[in-house]
Amino acid sequence: MAIAYSWKIEQLDVAPSEGSLSNVVCRVHWRLLASNGTQEVDTFGDLRLGPPDQSAFINYSSLTKATVVQWLESAINARVDGEPTVEQLQQSLSARLAPATAATPVPTPLPWD
């Protein structure tokens, strides 16, 4: 079965003001989930966002999960500090699911009895 990945945004930390902007998201607390249909595993973290682009600023009340996930994925993939990319996070989760997808051994009567 294919593995499905999904983001859960746990919390947004917001600066009341930054320059002329108000309610600026500065940190995203996230959880990345992977499911094979029978089992689910996850990993979590938080990521500090850089200063907002004033020309592309979105009011806090107008944010959508899709927008925040886009910011999150872009920021994770742009890190140069040796932290894993989104693909590497997914691979790690997939590896944790792999043992669960193997056939589970079952007790079987001995063949000579």
Dihedrals φ, ψ of 81, to 5°?
-95, 15
Task: Judge whether residue 38 has pLDDT over 70.
Answer: yes
How many domains does the chain contain in total? 1
Residues 6+ apart with CB under 8 A from 24: 14, 15, 17, 18, 52, 57, 60
**Residue type at 55 in one-letter notation:** S
Distances (CA, A) of 27 to 2, 3, 48, 91: 31, 28, 4, 24
Yes or no: say if 68 and 25 are a contact pair by the CB < 8 Å rule: yes
- Does residue 103 fall inside a structural domain? no
pLDDT for 92 = 95
- Does residue 42 fall inside a structural domain? yes
pTM of the model: 0.81
- Does residue 102 fall inside a structural domain? no
Give the whole-number percent of the chain exceeding pLDDT 90: 72
Residue range of the domain that includes 12: 4-52+59-77+85-97
- Does residue 111 fall inside a structural domain? no
Q: pLDDT higher for 18 or 103? A: 18
pLDDT for 49 = 92
Structure tokens at 51: 């200063």
Task: Judge whether residue 1 has pLDDT over 90.
Answer: no
Task: Judge whether residue 30 has pLDDT over 90.
Answer: yes
Per-chain mean pLDDT for the chain: 90
pLDDT for 17 = 92
- Does residue 109 fall inside a structural domain? no
- Does residue 11 fall inside a structural domain? yes
Beta bridge partners of 43: 32
- Does residue 112 fall inside a structural domain? no
